[in-house]
Structure 1
């Protein structure tokens, strides 16, 4: 395709948001409670009973952002629908934790996994912050509660980071430590500050950002963010090596996490300016692009190893969405055309290969040759990354 829209225009970004929402809303809302999680390429619901904490929170995020951009009452109703299900079915009153997954049929839960997983709890923080933004003041108490719960059971004050997983009662803490959950905790704390203005949230975001993108990255062979650590936060270079089955804990340097951290550092810098944010964001972004970009067919390969060799050659939706947002932040902040060039190059790649022009939204993953790896949409990714990227770029345009 050679005739591209103006990817920097407000009109394009809003139209893209709208078409993405049209894929999920209202078909994704289950009148019995919550949201359907898995869809075919044409929007057909493939599983009517699966429920996922991450998916529920991301759906709420999307509904609120759509409401804030378009002002439609049905999107605010969708956010209310999501909030009600989150606190009535995922929240566990006795522990103040949140169920990770379950089946939901006839108003009853079954086959539930009540583990308290920090990745999911971080999205709970994000969800309640978004609910406050949508005008649901009761979400402020839910926000305070989940933050206090995580502080009590999961926060390692000596390292400024959260443990990754606890059992259903918070009596057992897994020895694995990971950066991914902490990255999303940082994202969530920024949103909590935006929603409440309470300084403690932006302070915690800064603590996490420095711990991961400076201290932990400094332990790695490439001075980039490695995924996996032991209980004492020493780096574990072998965790899940040669095992591609764990989507939440993949081995290698993930190109998209380097650029996602670049984006988060510049979002954080809006509210808590620090001299190190911009240089670190540039370093993470520039090296990730140098190592992951497919110079022959376009697009970003998923991951690479400490020796800089490519490890996973798939091309993931979320990677490109986060990198587009990071490129826009760097372009605006530095004024350098190089980052606008990356912005255009990434959008053109996405437009040609990832965007579903017929049904809306993006395909989740492509193969190395840019063919579609799977047409199934949804859990745990109801286009949250590309919706969020568009919203961030709209903020930059406004600023």
Structure 2
């Protein structure tokens, strides 16, 4: 079977969902170890429960048996993370279902909005109320109309705004906003996604030779040395992140495809982001793609993550569909082959490998969720727009 072919991806989607089912816990979806066992010592994470709710919602729309039950379990579980006093959702719960910390983060709330959109499209019980609040919270707490980008972090009662601003949370907000535009019919969400891309990519990525700064202060001035002493942080690493360049590239293509009149800069930016990431991080003599580089394009954290190569192949597939350029077809073929050879196992996709493609746990322990792998084997079968929640039914068997 050819890696990346329709048949191969169908088989992988079934295997990924079978593995992901093991993550169901009483309180949501838990953290799995390398063999698919639940890590009973780990706290429940909002981002994991939200992303798994998204996965099972789309799986239901694609005709997967019992996926609706799992999506509805996720919707109910998200209620346990909800702050009933102040609104919004806590990012982490301990073994007693109490908040392990009380800040409100854009990154996690972007995935709540994504899960709300997908579960609403799937017809999950309780999803409409979830969507109503998720859109309200994003619109009133995280969206900054003056900046044309999202704020990052509030305290528990929304009275203190942290000075940090991040590209990662804005990227996932673009994804969630594209879903929100299609699912709710409110085009203002697409306008917000476009505003984010115009600024984060059109200003910051373009101004740094398409190596996107990830970290900023309150007025969106890049902080070049952020986490230089902790370069392998899972969410806020030092330096440029090729995997995010690929992810932004794919999202810009999807945004362009959703517009009646795509902006002229969009294809240029999507192609330039991918080209610079390939130039910096893809080595013909070494498989897969390192996590981070410095500002000259030299690798810093050389571990290979499954999500990075998943986003690389999605960007290549999207650009090939959008432009017809065979360059992207060739890159996709290479990355599908490397995914098949190095990352696919009978216990789900490996989360992290060393530079020599051996086991590594420098950044990630086990296998937290199936979001990136599921997207990788699903999105290439669908149109670039509208969002998968509106088109995935064509995969139903």
Using structure 2 for the length normalisation, give the TM-score.
0.91
Residue 82 of structure 1 pairs with residue 74 of structure 2: yes
1:68-217 equivalences under 5 Å are 68-72=61-65, 74-87=66-79, 89-104=80-95, 108-110=96-98, 112-136=100-124, 138-217=126-205
Q: Which moved more, 1:244-253 or 1:16-25?
A: 244-253
Q: CA deviation at 1:117?
A: 0.6
- Offset at 1:396? 4.2
Alpha-carbon deviation of 1:138?
4.5
Q: Bigger CA drift: 78-87 or 142-151?
A: 142-151
The separation in 1 between residues aligned to 2:100 and 2:223, in whole angstroms, is: 30
Q: Would you tell me which structure has more strand in proportion to its own residues?
A: 1
Aligned residue in 2 for 1:329: 318
RMSD, aligned CA: 1.9
The question of whether the paired residues in 1 share the 8 Å contact of 2:3 and 2:340 is answered with no
Listed one character per residue, the Cα deviations across residues 254-310 of structure 1 (whole Å, up to 9, x for unaligned) are 000111001001111221232222111001001101110122122111111112222
The structural deviation recorded for 1:29 is 1.4
- How many Å separate the matches in 2 of 1:172 and 1:267? 34
Q: Counterparts of 1:35 and 1:142 in 2: how far apart (Å)?
A: 17
Matched, 1:364 2:359: no
Alignment partner of 1:36 is 2:30: yes
Aligned counterpart for 2:17 among listed residues 16, 21, 25: 21
CA distance in 1, matches of 2:286, 2:4: 23
Residue-by-residue CA offset, 1:171-224 (whole Å, 9 max, x unaligned): 11111111100000000011112322221221111111112111222343x233
The structure-2 alpha-carbon separation of the partners of 1:49 and 1:311, relative to structure 1 and needing over 3 Å to count, comes to closer
Asked if the contact 1:17–1:66 (Cα under 8 Å) also holds between the matched residues in 2, the reply is no
C-alpha distance in structure 2 between counterparts of 1:16 and 1:301, whole Å? 23
Aligned residues: 382
Matched, 1:55 2:48: yes
Measure the CA separation in 1 of the matches of 2:163 and 2:316.
Answer: 35
Structure 1 contact 167–173 (Cα < 8 Å) conserved: yes
- Kindly state the Cα deviation for residue 389 of structure 1 after the two structures are TM-superposed: 1.8
- Structure 2 counterparts to residues 240-389 of structure 1, below 5 A: 240-244=227-231, 246-272=233-259, 273-356=262-345, 358-359=346-347, 361-374=348-361, 376-379=365-368, 382-389=369-376
**Structure 2 Cα separation of the partners of residues 245 and 296 of structure 1:** 23
- Rounded to whole Å, the distance in 1 between the matches of 2:115 and 2:300 is 33
User: Residue in 2 aligned with 1:11?
Assistant: 7
- Which residue is equivalent to 2:389? none
Higher relative contact order (CA 8 A, sep 6+): 2
Indicate if the aligned counterparts of 2:231 and 2:300 stay in contact, CA closer than 8 A.
no
Deviation digits for residues 105-152 of structure 1 (CA, Å, limit 9, x no counterpart):
xxx423521210110011111010011111137423432322322332
- Supply the distance in 1 between the matched residues of 2:146 and 2:137 (Cα, whole angstroms): 18
Task: Provide the secondary structure at the position in 1 that maps to 2:235.
Answer: coil
Q: Which runs of 4+ in 1 moved over 6 A?
A: none
Bigger shift: 342-351 or 296-305?
296-305
Paired with 1:371 and 1:170, the residues of 2 have a C-alpha distance of: 44
| Cα distance in structure 2, aligned partners of 1:247 and 1:233 | 22
Gaps of 5+ in 1: none
SS state at 2:94 partner: strand
CA distance in 2, matches of 1:246, 1:190: 28
**Aligned residues of 1:119 and 1:164 also touching (Cα < 8 A):** yes
Q: Give distance in 1, aligned partners of 2:344 and 2:102.
A: 35
Q: Separation in 2 of the partners of 1:49 and 1:281?
A: 37
